[in-house]
Structure 1
């Protein structure tokens, strides 16, 4: 049997040395090395989406992979792709790191400098383990993207007031109504309003999980509020200053724990860039950026996308743009926003109909929004378009007249002048 091996090494010299040794292993098929944690997760996700049979048996992760800490990356791979054998390559082969790597889900550890004998032994052991797991669980049981351990979608606002939280809440409500086990996380750590939108008060928050290294299902359940809508809520801290406790590391651990328990995790990232929500956007299967069709918001969206690219958080073409408060008379249309930001605009824009929302927003009961609301219909249709609903749930029809035509006067001309600004 041929063993497929995916190396992950950020250092070009280390990658070359690893590939040279792997090419000497009998019955092995090494892939082209991936340079960072984002590329590794993207590659595995893309392969798993095609078929579980496309996944490599062994992933070799070098200690200097970056930007994600290597043990957190191993934990994420083990949770999302449980039949892939992960082996850590490190200069510290001591018992403390070995124990930590095993706890994270690694199937072995190789010390540096690399030797052929140790590499061959660890790859063979991890491969045999992977094959055994797949045989034991069966093909359907290890297709992580379609069940618990499945998908994470982040919702970020180009600027304040564009409808980020409302969009995230409606996505979660739509997914839960379709039968998916859904969690909604408020990662707008200093100004989160998910609880206010759903009329929920709960003493626990994501900050209570920040200092915990191993988030067990019971610990997670203590921090989550099971709402009557069927959505599990992990709220932002009531005291905004506690948001500082939730750093990038804590966010990754919490997201990994939620991903292992729920079919869909919707994360409201707010509008401010922090280490925590950057980690969420980086690891998300779907990253949504919400804007309104006006010059200020679109320019803010462009700045956000550029910042994500500079920080290697997310590529523009891997970002989904949702246009909120759209009308057919809007001069800045979704197709133009797509062109300016280089993102992918959704087929369904969200209409400008605040009067439909005012009563439920003021009451803090957005779950009671009438099914005849054109805004609700559009957002639930969007949830279907983004693949957030269960397969048995057909998305609601698009609102009539949802054209993506571009008009070229007024604000459009201003945007075009500012594209390179």
Structure 2
């Protein structure tokens, strides 16, 4: 899938081009810019694969913008849109750094062919960078660990993930970077005193080299390489998003796993960590304030186009079964993937590691088994040690993430389908008796009402006959003849003096006795004697 940023000032051109791009597979339009300044900013922040720019977008000349974009991102393919595609126009665009020229008015064959060539070029250049620039070694995985808010255990999770990676893969090079530049605690957790920090490296970001970054990295006795936050909070301003991106890019080439502890406080450096990461792990606790802060933070990242909530993973930390807010409620409140692994509330267990300032002080097998499972869920278990002399091939980061997301969604969908199917079957088995009981009660009430109506007719007929004949038998015959067959069975007539007659009628086709309802009805009428 190739991400595209479009720079077209004319809305008609935008509509025509997007209509064609939507018909092309493996293409995703990330943003549309209306000016050259906006286009340069989007290209820097969103890191697209292809940039399409109109020659008349303005206000700056299009050739200068192409040079700026390709200078910042040598691996991006720029395609220029021209009203007149002549040999001179093509040569001028290629000299500026473009990979091709698309003619306007647009045609599907022209646009698709130019995009295909641009995609092939991007694929080749990135394979070249991955292989030759790193000596044939695989680029490392970058995991950003972010807290929903302060106090949810972000640093503990990041540190113990790094420690478990080293324990399970002793030959792997793991770097833990404290990017919580204002309140970083990695140095305190690992008892590290440093002379340089990430701020010192960021100060020379414009002329940054690999050795400069590695000189600031400390190899801790646990086997974790550490790049710490500055001690002086005033130096936090040096860690800009641009500097952080350059530092992480170098660390990615030198280490198998790079874990960024981005802290639990909103900052530009935290947003940059989310943007450059292969995977983003958001740590939260199952309480209203933390979940609310997590949702607001994810919405802000989506609005800033540095991350998508659906692509993130959520870890529920400090799970307490006695909590009023259950951990099972968190997946219902976010579109991110909530991990099945959950870290229980373990204050006493962590106390030893905190006092000794060494994660290895925790000897509980179950604790490290949790973090091994956590590494598997976030994708770190796929990371292996880089060979020294054998060149290794890897797919692009987006392809790998796409496969992981598809597998996760498929697995999640299957689990959801199974849960829903089981829930429906259980509900049906419980509801059927209630439905049958309700239907029986309704039937009994309906039959009782009909019996009451016909009993009134029968009593009237019996009173009239009795007034003429004075015979109870003839009154019963008159009552039987006035009602339908099912209601006449068991009908009886009785008198109470010469002026009252009563008809008792059994309720047919009923089972009122089982529900405490009557099984027969008796109605009375006054006998009017005929003169």
TM-score normalized by structure 2? 0.56
| Aligned-residue CA RMSD (Å) | 4.0
Query: Deviation of residue 218 (structure 1)?
Result: 1.0
Query: Deviation of residue 5 (structure 1)?
Result: 7.4
Aligned mates of 1:218, 1:156 — CA distance in 2: 28
What SS is found at the alignment partner of 1:267? strand
Kept in 2, the 8 Å contact 1:351–1:375? The answer is no
Query: Deviation of residue 107 (structure 1)?
Result: 7.0
Alignment partner, residue 98 of structure 1: 67
Q: 1:60-100, CA deviations, whole angstroms, 9 ceiling, x for partnerless residues?
A: xx9666695535766xx7xxxxxx8x678585466797388
Kept in 1, the 8 Å contact 2:149–2:293? The answer is yes
Alignment partner, residue 220 of structure 1: 213
Q: 1:289-330, CA deviations, whole angstroms, 9 ceiling, x for partnerless residues?
A: 111222332232233223333333333222211111114444
Alignment partner, residue 34 of structure 1: 29
Distance 1:100 1:195, change over 3 A: same
Aligned mates of 1:327, 1:375 — CA distance in 2: 16
Distance 1:305 1:110, change over 3 A: closer
Alignment partner, residue 55 of structure 1: none
Distance 1:342 1:177, change over 3 A: same
Select the structure of larger CA radius of gyration: 2
Aligned mates of 1:103, 1:302 — CA distance in 2: 33
Aligned mates of 1:63, 1:151 — CA distance in 2: 33
TM-score normalized by structure 1? 0.69
Instruction: Report whether the alignment pairs 1:295 with 2:288.
Output: yes
Alignment partner, residue 455 of structure 2: none
Alignment partner, residue 274 of structure 1: 267
- Which deviates further from its counterpart, 244-253 or 328-337? 328-337
What SS is found at the alignment partner of 1:342? coil
Query: Deviation of residue 342 (structure 1)?
Result: 3.3
What SS is found at the alignment partner of 1:325? strand
Query: Deviation of residue 234 (structure 1)?
Result: 1.3
Aligned mates of 2:159, 2:331 — CA distance in 1: 24
Instruction: Say which of 304, 307, 317 aligns to 2:310.
Output: 317
Aligned mates of 1:295, 1:339 — CA distance in 2: 13
Alignment partner, residue 286 of structure 1: 279
Alignment partner, residue 230 of structure 1: 223
Distance 1:246 1:392, change over 3 A: closer
Equivalent pairs counted in the alignment come to 348
Kept in 2, the 8 Å contact 1:159–1:271? The answer is yes
Alignment partner, residue 158 of structure 1: 148
- Which deviates further from its counterpart, 165-174 or 6-15? 6-15
Q: 1:158-179, CA deviations, whole angstroms, 9 ceiling, x for partnerless residues?
A: 2221111000111112223333
Alignment partner, residue 304 of structure 1: 297
Distance 1:175 1:214, change over 3 A: farther
Alignment partner, residue 514 of structure 2: none
Instruction: Report whether the alignment pairs 1:210 with 2:202.
Output: yes
Kept in 1, the 8 Å contact 2:284–2:317? The answer is yes
Aligned mates of 1:208, 1:339 — CA distance in 2: 43
Query: Deviation of residue 249 (structure 1)?
Result: 1.8
Instruction: Report whether the alignment pairs 1:348 with 2:314.
Output: no
Alignment partner, residue 240 of structure 2: 247
Kept in 2, the 8 Å contact 1:321–1:346? The answer is yes
Aligned mates of 1:156, 1:384 — CA distance in 2: 18
Aligned mates of 2:196, 2:353 — CA distance in 1: 25
Alignment partner, residue 415 of structure 1: none
Alignment partner, residue 9 of structure 1: 6
Instruction: Report whether the alignment pairs 1:171 with 2:168.
Output: no
Alignment partner, residue 116 of structure 1: 85
- Which deviates further from its counterpart, 159-168 or 227-236? 227-236
Aligned mates of 2:41, 2:271 — CA distance in 1: 11
Aligned mates of 2:200, 2:358 — CA distance in 1: 26
Alignment partner, residue 379 of structure 1: 371
Aligned mates of 2:2, 2:84 — CA distance in 1: 17
Aligned mates of 1:115, 1:343 — CA distance in 2: 46
Distance 1:359 1:389, change over 3 A: same
Gaps of at least 5 residues in structure 1 are: 24-28, 38-61, 78-83, 394-404, 406-421
Aligned mates of 1:6, 1:156 — CA distance in 2: 25
Structure number with higher relative contact order (C-alpha < 8 Å, ≥ 6 residues apart)? 1
Aligned mates of 2:84, 2:312 — CA distance in 1: 41
Distance 1:132 1:384, change over 3 A: closer
Aligned mates of 1:66, 1:335 — CA distance in 2: 43
Gaps of at least 5 residues in structure 2 are: 55-59, 101-113, 386-418, 420-531
